[in-house]
Amino acid sequence: MTDLLIGGRWTGAIDERTREIRCPADGSLVAVVDEGGGKDAAEAVAAARQAFDQGPWPRTPAGPRGDLLLRVADLVARDKDALARAESLDTGKRLAESRLDVDDAVACFRYYGRLVRTETGRVVDTGTAHAVSRVVHEPVGVCALITPWNCPLPQTSWKVAPALAAGNTFVLKPSELTPSTAIALMRLLVEAGLPDGVANLVLGPGPEAGAPLTDNPDVDMVSFTGGLRTGRRVMAAAAGTVKRTSLELSGKNPNVVFADADFGTAVDHALTAVFRHSGQVCSAGARLMVEDSVHDAFVEAVVHRARGIRLGGPFDERAQTGPLISAAHRARVEAYVAAGLAEGARLRCGGTCPDDPALADGYYFLPTVLDRCHSGMSVLADESFGPVLTVERFASEDEAVRLANDTVYGLAGAVWSGDEERARRVASRLRLGTVWINDYHPCLPQAEWGGFKQSGTGRELGPGGLAEYRETKHIWRNTRPRPRGWFA
Ligand code: TXE
């Protein structure tokens, strides 16, 4: 088998291990792929290092680099159906959502393909006629790109596109659970004409194939999206050689509803915010906070609609959401709900696996609402990353802000209000990387994405996403060199 890409060559894992990829919706076999480890990771880093130090890509001007990214965008768009299908089979995600994820990847490659031509350096006034000062951008070097399983193709594209735009070489290590679209994307990069060794792919479990990338001295930067605990480990490993790190570590995102919000629209979005892809979204609005006077009616409406959500596999057109990624993850979500109930939360719906025999082979979990949640409960501190909504109530604007900010996370969230001034005021007080006002979830390639506090460091998307993968160098040129004579 030849699923790893190292130095421009498709190859198998050195230890000849393989892994079965199974669809979480029904356990069916999707693929058998190579499973690499430390030795494969080391070879991939060596190839990326050589391509960076000696290959043409880092020295290719921004124009042709941008052209290549635009070609990749076209190729991803060409293969949309196959990529969306592959993504759905690996993740269990509804096909309609996977198609949107492919569109997201296309938009990301287009955006960076165009941006890199315009984001140039600058000339600085030296204050003298005899010197020229320029500030220029250069690639960071060899990047380790480590991605998770919930939105594999967009999460990979958000790293690969700016890393390439800036002129880096990289080793990509996707989640061991969902490698298919990473393999497909690497094939498209080769088809687009990327020089050998610029893009390298290693598959395998995090501790074996990912960790060796994070402390390898030949890696200059680690860009990681995943859980907070793994993120801390990655950051600590990278500290040994002071690598640049860019981390997106998810969130426990507040969705704050004031009494003067449009009731029906806010209820509708509260459901999408948390139950889309069964809550396996880093920005999921898993913490619903409702103002006292509408709390009971609002929660009742959410619970009523949550009970009616139809579960099903990726190709079931009637399904509204799908399974969790694995048995282990479902067990984590179940334990999280149990902990919440033990702490005094009240179960309003869900809380178990569905009893529909048609879903018995998948890792489904019913949309769940827990109310009577309040500060101090671990159910509010931790992320479930499942279809679990916790509900809190608040009496004032100040209390809403205080509660919403009472978390170590700071990725995203929303405020719902008919009072524009209040919505803006609250949005500016929330310690979150993204705040939606009267909306939930939209994301643009041209606007930065990333977390405050322990939700991460650095930014993805937008000009800031490109800046993550660039060094900035000041070059001063004396046009009329003369001795200074200080020590004459
Ligand atoms: O993620 P991990 P897991 C959160 C979510 C979830 C929790 C655990 O709360 O319940 O994380 O999920 C690789 N060195 N998110 O365990 O471990 C791993 O192989 C280097 C939020 O699945 O973070 C995979 O490629 N790499 C999130 C990637 O890290 C390591 C998306 C993510 O896996 C490694 C997913 C190591 N020591 C989970 N250990 C988001 N931000 O969207 C693992 N990996």
Tens-place pLDDT, residues 169-209 = 999 999 999 999 999 999 999 999 999 999 999 999 999 99
Q: Active site includes 353?
A: no
Active-site option among 248, 334, 460, 468? 248
Kindly report the protein residue whose alpha carbon is nearest to atom 13 of ligand 1.
206
pLDDT tens digits, one per residue of 104-114: 999 999 999 99
Q: Please work out whether the CB of residue 333 comes within 6 Å of at least one atom of ligand 1.
A: no
Which residues, in sequence order, are CB contacts of 423 under 8 Å at separation 6+?
A: 415, 416, 417, 437, 438
Sign of the C-alpha dihedral computed for residues 276, 280, 282 and 288 taken in this order:
positive
Task: Decide: 282 in ligand 1 pocket, CB within 6 A.
Answer: yes
> pLDDT (tens digit, 9 = 90+) per residue, 306-363?
999 999 999 999 999 999 999 999 999 999 999 999 999 999 999 999 999 999 999 9
Cα(227) to ligand 1 centroid in Å equals: 5
**119 has pLDDT over 90:** no
Q: What distance in Å separates the CA atoms of residue 470 and residue 55, rounded to the nearest whole number? A: 18
Which of the following is catalytic: 23, 108, 143, 282? Answer: 282
Residue 12 CA to ligand 1 center (angstroms) comes to 24
**Measured between alpha carbons, how far is 8 from 158 in angstroms, rounded to an integer?**
22
248 annotated active-site: yes
Place of tokens 């030949």: 218
Contacts of 183 by beta carbon, 8 Å cutoff, 6+ apart: 3, 33, 201, 203
One-letter amino acid of 394: F
Query: Tokens 């020295």 belong to which residue?
Result: 59
Signed CA dihedral, 361, 1, 143, 212: sign only:
positive
Q: Which of 334, 264, 216, 285 is nearest to 436 (CA)?
A: 285
pLDDT at 120 over 90: no
pLDDT score, position 39: 98
What order do you get walking across the sheet with 131-139 strand by strand? 122-124, 131-139, 470-478
Query: What is the model's pLDDT at position 1?
Result: 78
Residue 130 clears pLDDT 90, i.e. is over it: yes
Tell me, using a 6 A CB cutoff, whether residue 462 lines ligand 1: no
Side chain identity at residue 48, one-letter code: A
Distance 326 CA to ligand 1 centre (A): 13
List all residues 6 or more positions away from 127 whose beta carbon is below 8 Å from its beta carbon: none
- pTM of the entire structure? 0.98
What pLDDT is attached to residue 440?
98
Quick one: tokens of 359?
A: 């879903």
Query: Is residue 27 a contact partner of residue 361, using CB atoms and an 8 Å limit?
Result: yes
Q: For position 380, what pLDDT does the model report? A: 93
| Per-residue pLDDT band at 4 (split at 50, 70, 90) | very high
Atom of ligand 1 nearest to the CA of 213: 20
Q: What is the pLDDT of residues 419-442, one digit of tens each?
A: 999 999 999 999 999 999 999 999
Residue 485 Cα to ligand 1 middle (Å) = 59
In this structure, are residues 471 and 300 in contact, taking their beta carbons and an 8 Å threshold? no
Cα gap 460→451, rounded to integer Å: 10
Which atom, in ligand 1's list, is nearest to the CA of 174?
25
Bridge partner list, 436: 414
Q: Answer for the pair 438, 262: CB distance below 8 angstroms, yes or no.
A: yes
270: tokens are 């509260």
Give residue 369's pLDDT.
98
Cβ-Cβ contacts under 8 Å for 357 (sequence gap 6 or more) = none
- Ligand 1, from 230, 388, 461: best to mutate by most atoms within 8 Å of Cβ? 230
In terms of Cβ atoms closer than 10 Å to its own Cβ (0-12, 13-18, 19+), residue 390 is buried
SS (H, E, C) the chain: CCCEEECCEEECCCCCCEEEEECCCCCCEEEEEECCCHHHHHHHHHHHHHHHHHCCHHHCCHHHHHHHHHHHHHHHHHCHHHHHHHHHHHHCCCHHHHHHHHHHHHHHHHHHHHHHHHCCCEEECCCCCCEEEEEEEEECCEEEEECCCCCHHHHHHHHHHHHHHCCCEEEEECCCCCCHHHHHHHHHHHHHCCCCCCEEECCCCHHHHHHHHHCCCCCCEEEEECCHHHHHHHHHHHHCCCCEEEEECCCCCEEEECCCCCHHHHHHHHHHHHHHHHHCCCCCCCEEEEEHHHHHHHHHHHHHHHHCCCECCCCCCCCCECCCCCHHHHHHHHHHHHHHHHCCCEEEECCCCCCCHHHCCCCCCCCEEEECCCCCCHHHHCCCCCCEEEEEEECCHHHHHHHHCCCCCCCEEEEECCCHHHHHHHHHHCCCCEEEECCCCCCCCCCCECCCHHHEECCECHHHHHHHCEEEEEEEEECCCCCCCCCC
Separation of alpha carbons 55 and 427, rounded Å: 46
174 Cβ neighbours under 8 A, 6+ residues apart: 147, 152, 156, 182, 201, 203
Q: What percent of the chain has pLDDT over 90?
A: 98
pLDDT tens-digit readout, 225-281? 999 999 999 999 999 999 999 999 999 999 999 999 999 999 999 999 999 999 999
Q: Please name each of the domains of the chain with its CATH number.
A: 4-249+456-475 (3.40.605.10), 254-437 (3.40.309.10)
The rounded distance, in Å, linking the Cα atoms of 2 and 291 is: 56
b/e string for 226-265 if b means 16 or more Cβ within 10 A?
bbbebbebbbebbeeeebbbbbbbbbbbbbbbbeebeeee
Rounded to the nearest 5°, which phi and psi values hold at 199? -110, 125
Q: What does the mean pLDDT of the chain come to?
A: 97
Model confidence over 281-292: pLDDT tens digits? 999 999 999 999
pLDDT of residue 488: 86
